[in-house]
Structure 1
Amino acid sequence: MSTQNDKARLFHCLHVPGQPLVLFNAWDAGSARAVAEAGAQAIATGSWSVAAANGFADGEHLPFAFALDNLRRIVAAVAQPVTIDLESGYGDAPALVSATVAAALKGGAVGCNLEDSFPTDGRLRDMRDQTARLAAARQAAEDAGVGMFINARTDVFFQKPADVHDMAMVDAALERAHAYADAGASGLFVPGVVNEPLIARLAEASPLPLNIMVMPGVPGRARLAELGVARISHGPGPYRGAMQWLAEAARAAMA
Structure 2
Amino acid sequence: MSQVEKAAEFARLHRKGDPLILFNIWDAGSAKVVSEAGAKALATGSWSVAAANGFSDGEAIPLSLLAVITRLISVTSPLPVSVDLEGGYAIEPDAVAANVEKIMDHGAVGINFEDQVVGGRGVHPIEMQTARIRAIREMADRREMPLFINARTDLFLQESDTAHHQILLDEAYRRAEAFAEAGASGFFTPGLVDAELIEAVCDRSPLPVNIMVRPTTPDNIAMGRLGVSRISYGPAPYRTVMGMLKSEAEALYQQT
> Shorter-chain TM-score: what band?
over 0.9
Equivalent-residue separation in structure 2 for 1:163 and 1:8 (angstroms): 34
Q: How much identity, in percent, do the aligned residues show?
A: 47
Residue 45 of structure 1 corresponds to which residue in structure 2?
44
Deviation larger for 116-125 or 164-173: 164-173
Alignment of 1:10-49 (within 5 A): 10-49=9-48
* RMSD, aligned CA: 0.9
Residue 142 of structure 1 corresponds to which residue in structure 2?
141
Equivalent-residue separation in structure 2 for 1:251 and 1:6 (angstroms): 46
Residue 80 of structure 1 corresponds to which residue in structure 2?
79
Task: Please say if residues 157 and 190 of structure 2, whose CA atoms lie closer than 8 Å, have aligned partners that are also in contact.
Answer: yes
Secondary structure class of the residue paired with 1:207: coil
Number of residues of Structure 1 aligned to a counterpart in Structure 2: 254
Q: Where in structure 2 are there 5+ consecutive unaligned residues? A: none
Task: Please say if residues 156 and 165 of structure 2, whose CA atoms lie closer than 8 Å, have aligned partners that are also in contact.
Answer: no
Residue 166 of structure 2 corresponds to which residue in structure 1?
167
Q: How far did residue 122 of structure 1 move?
A: 4.4
Q: Deviations over 1:89-125 (max 9, x none)?
A: 0000001111011111111110001000111134110
**What letter is aligned with 2:198?**
I
Q: Deviations over 1:129-177 (max 9, x none)?
A: 0000000010111122110100000011123223323433111111000
The 1:78/1:196 distance shift into structure 2, 3 A limit, reads same
Q: Deviations over 1:65-88 (max 9, x none)?
A: 000000000001110000000000
Task: Please say if residues 105 and 144 of structure 1, whose CA atoms lie closer than 8 Å, have aligned partners that are also in contact.
Answer: no
1:240 counterpart = 2:239: yes
Equivalent-residue separation in structure 2 for 1:122 and 1:252 (angstroms): 41
Residue 217 of structure 1 corresponds to which residue in structure 2?
216
Alignment of 1:188-227 (within 5 A): 188-227=187-226
Secondary structure class of the residue paired with 2:239: helix
Equivalent-residue separation in structure 2 for 1:45 and 1:160 (angstroms): 24
Task: Please say if residues 159 and 165 of structure 2, whose CA atoms lie closer than 8 Å, have aligned partners that are also in contact.
Answer: no
Residue 93 of structure 1 corresponds to which residue in structure 2?
92
Secondary structure class of the residue paired with 1:109: coil
Equivalent-residue separation in structure 1 for 2:157 and 2:211 (angstroms): 13
Deviation larger for 114-123 or 157-166: 157-166
Residue 252 of structure 1 corresponds to which residue in structure 2?
251
Q: How far did residue 215 of structure 1 move?
A: 1.1
Equivalent-residue separation in structure 2 for 1:60 and 1:163 (angstroms): 26
Secondary structure class of the residue paired with 1:8: helix
Task: Please say if residues 162 and 192 of structure 1, whose CA atoms lie closer than 8 Å, have aligned partners that are also in contact.
Answer: no
Taking structure 1 as the reference length, what is the TM-score of the superposition? 0.98
1:111 counterpart = 2:110: yes
Deviation larger for 210-219 or 159-168: 159-168
Secondary structure class of the residue paired with 2:156: helix
**What letter is aligned with 1:238?**
P
Task: Please say if residues 165 and 192 of structure 2, whose CA atoms lie closer than 8 Å, have aligned partners that are also in contact.
Answer: no
Equivalent-residue separation in structure 2 for 1:57 and 1:143 (angstroms): 34
Equivalent-residue separation in structure 2 for 1:159 and 1:82 (angstroms): 27
Residue 5 of structure 1 corresponds to which residue in structure 2?
4
Equivalent-residue separation in structure 2 for 1:231 and 1:39 (angstroms): 16
Deviation larger for 120-129 or 55-64: 120-129
Which segments of structure 1 move beyond 4 Å, counting only runs of 4 or more?
none
Residue 183 of structure 1 corresponds to which residue in structure 2?
182
